[in-house]
Amino acid sequence: MANTMQFDLVSPERSLASLQVSAVQIPGADGDMTAMPDHAPTITTLRPGVLKAEGPEGTTEYLVTGGFAQINGDGLSVLAEKAIPVDEVTRAHLDELIAEARGAHEASQEHPSLVDDAAKLLADMEALGDHMSL
């Protein structure tokens, strides 16, 4: 069993990480999960939350707003809708993300089938601010 695996995190704006890690905590849409070396192949969607990568150099954390994670035998690739290193997140970033979620929630009122998804997104974004003490 390998001690580390390849971890790559990209968003439309930039590549945020490409490093060896021992574990990655993923905010999955169906619940949080931890990917480790030799994890069973899995694809999951992400919910807004904090993704934590633990490696020989320490732990790095990223705020993600959604996307996909693909775990294969030798690594993990995360394609995030938006991702920001936690140490770069400001109250202004979070306010912007909450405003976008609020706008999606308001727009969904015209389409009743989308209301629950938009309300969940808004609640997740507001909870992120509380979790990060911003």
Cα separation, 56 vs 54, in Å, equals 7
Q: What is the pLDDT of residue 19?
A: 94
* Length of the chain in terms of residues written: 134
Two structure tokens written together for 132 = 């990060």
Q: Map residue 99 onto helix, strand or coil.
A: helix
Q: What is the pLDDT of residue 112?
A: 64
Cα separation, 11 vs 100, in Å, equals 17
Nearest CA to 63 out of 85, 31, 91, 81 is that of 85
Two structure tokens written together for 105 = 């929630």
Q: What is the pLDDT of residue 73?
A: 75
pTM equals 0.76
Two structure tokens written together for 51 = 């993704």
Q: Are 90 and 113 within 8 A, CB to CB?
A: no
Per-residue tens of pLDDT for the chain, all 134 residues: 469 999 999 999 999 999 999 999 999 988 999 999 999 999 999 999 999 999 998 999 999 989 999 999 789 999 999 999 999 988 888 888 888 888 877 777 776 666 677 777 777 777 777 766 66
Cα separation, 122 vs 100, in Å, equals 9
